[in-house]
Structure formats: structure tokens, C-alpha cells
Amino acid sequence: MLDIRRISTRRWWHKKKNWIFFGIFLFLVFVRISKGALYKDFYYFISKPFWPGQFQKELLLNSSEQESLMKLNLLKKDNLRLREILYLQDSSSNDNISAAVISRKTGSWWRQIILNKGSKDGVKIGNSVIGPGGLLGRVKDTSLFTSSVTLLTSPESKVGVWLDRIQVNGLLVGVGDNYPNLILYSKDADIEVGDFVSSSPASTLLPPNIPIGIVQSIDESLKAKKTAKILLLAKPQAIDWVQILKEKI
């Protein structure tokens, strides 16, 4: 009789463990299907007490002087573009969404930041994200409470850019380090170290003329094109507050 009870007890525990493993399997399948949205929303709540304070938010709002100088250098020959940039700088909260950075992977291959604003706040995939200094990247995906931003330094990032001094369009490509590559498909392009780079007026993905960076070095070894390393003006590793542009100007 004792042996029968032991066997029965062992079988009962064995079935319980199976149910536990089955529950874990279902949870992992759900996380996979939801693309991590549940995890991000959970992180949103547990990280809320540690969000950056009002000081960092004021720092973002007071950074317009540095950006204005860059914008004026970019747009001094084009009054129409200047009005568009002033509109971007002075736009109301109905056009921009202020968000805090609650997680960042600026040193990893993927290079992204997570913000505390999501679809319930009007954030959409593809929205541009700017910080003190200029463009940071674009929204890759959203959950109800959060959004993930692919940085310009990520290998997934490819955006059209503009060099105002020589009036040439180029392509800015992230390569997984802090200095994305600028590609100019013209060997004769008179690019120089120190040239300003902004978002292209011809871009279909970004608002035009957002400051991006400065040419740091130039590689002329390729026959069909020129490439350059770009020093970005906005530093994602040091920024706690950003603005999400809801609409393209």
C-alpha cells in the first residue's frame, strides 16, 4: 500500500512540472508574437521612479541656441528653409512629443534607445526623434507605453542627408560605431572636413534640414564615390530627454 501511494505521489508531481513547463512555453510564445511589447511595458512601470528629472528636461528645452546657430549656417541662403526650421524649433506640444529615455543600448551592435511614450501618446513607427544638437534617429516600433528608436549609428539606419556648402545630397549609413559613414555618389564632390550635414530636403523619411553632424574625416580611396566619417551633434549616450516629431514638416 505504501509503494502505491509513493508512485501515485510521484506521478502527481510529474504532471505538475509538465504544466509548469507548458505554461512557460506559452509565455515565451506570447512574448515572441508580441515582439517584446509586454516586456517593454513592464519595464516602463518598474523604471518609472528612476526617470530623469525636470533638470534634464529643461536642458533639452534650453538647447535651442546651439541648434539655431547650426540651422542658420545651413540655411542662410534659403529663406524658405529657414522658415521651416524656425517652425520646427518653435512648434507647439501638439506637433512634438516630449519623452524621457528609460533605456539605452548605445554601445551595442543594435544601438537603440527606449522612450517612455508609446502608441497611446500618438507615437508612430517612422517618427523622427531629435535631442539637443539635432537628429538622433527614427522610431522603429511601439508598444502601448513605450517606443524603440533606431539610432543613426545603428547598421539598420540609412537616411538621406544634405551638405549645404556644396549643395549635394548624400546617404548617411550607420556602421555600428559612433561615427556613421557619409556616402557621396560623386567622385568630384568638393567635400571638406568641417562641412555641416543635415537631413535632406529631398528625403521622404525625415523633415528637411534637421542638424545631424560635421564631417570629421574623408576617404577618397574609392573610384566611384567618396565616403566620410561624421561626428554627430546629438549624443544619445548623454541625452535623457528627447522630442518626437509627430508630423513631417
The domain spanning residue 63 has which CATH number? 2.40.10.340
Vertex 140: Cα angle to 61 and 46 (nearest 5): 70
Q: How many domains does the chain have?
A: 2
Contact yes or no for 172/230 (Cβ under 8 A): yes
Do 28 and 40 belong together in one domain? no
What's the whole-number average pLDDT of the chain? Answer: 78
One domain, residues 246 and 137: yes
pLDDT score recorded for residue 195: 93
What does pTM read for this prediction?
Answer: 0.67
The reply to whether 9 and 49 lie within a common domain is no
For 77-101, write each residue's pLDDT tens digit. Answer: 555 544 444 444 454 445 689 999 9
Domain span at residue 19 reads 2-33
Q: Do 70 and 28 sit in the same domain of this protein?
A: no
> In the prediction, which pLDDT does 40 show?
73
Are 12 and 50 part of one and the same domain?
no
Identify whether residues 17 and 114 lie together within a single domain: no
- Contact (CB, 8 A) for 150 and 157: yes
**Residues 63 and 19 occupy one common structural domain:** no
Q: Looking at the structure, do residues 106 and 191 belong to the same domain, yes or no?
A: yes
DSSP code of residue 180:
P
pLDDT digits (tens, 9 = 90+) for 56-71: 555 555 555 556 666 6
Residues sharing a CB contact under 8 Å with residue 231, sequence separation 6 or more, in sequence order: 179, 213, 214, 215, 216
pLDDT recorded at residue 2: 47
Nearest to 18 by CA among 6, 7, 29, 10: 10
- C-alpha 143/C-alpha 35 separation (Å) is 9
Same-domain check for residues 71 and 26: no
* Domain identity same for 158 and 46: yes
User: pLDDT tens for residues 192-239?
Assistant: 999 999 999 888 888 888 999 999 999 887 777 889 999 999 988 888
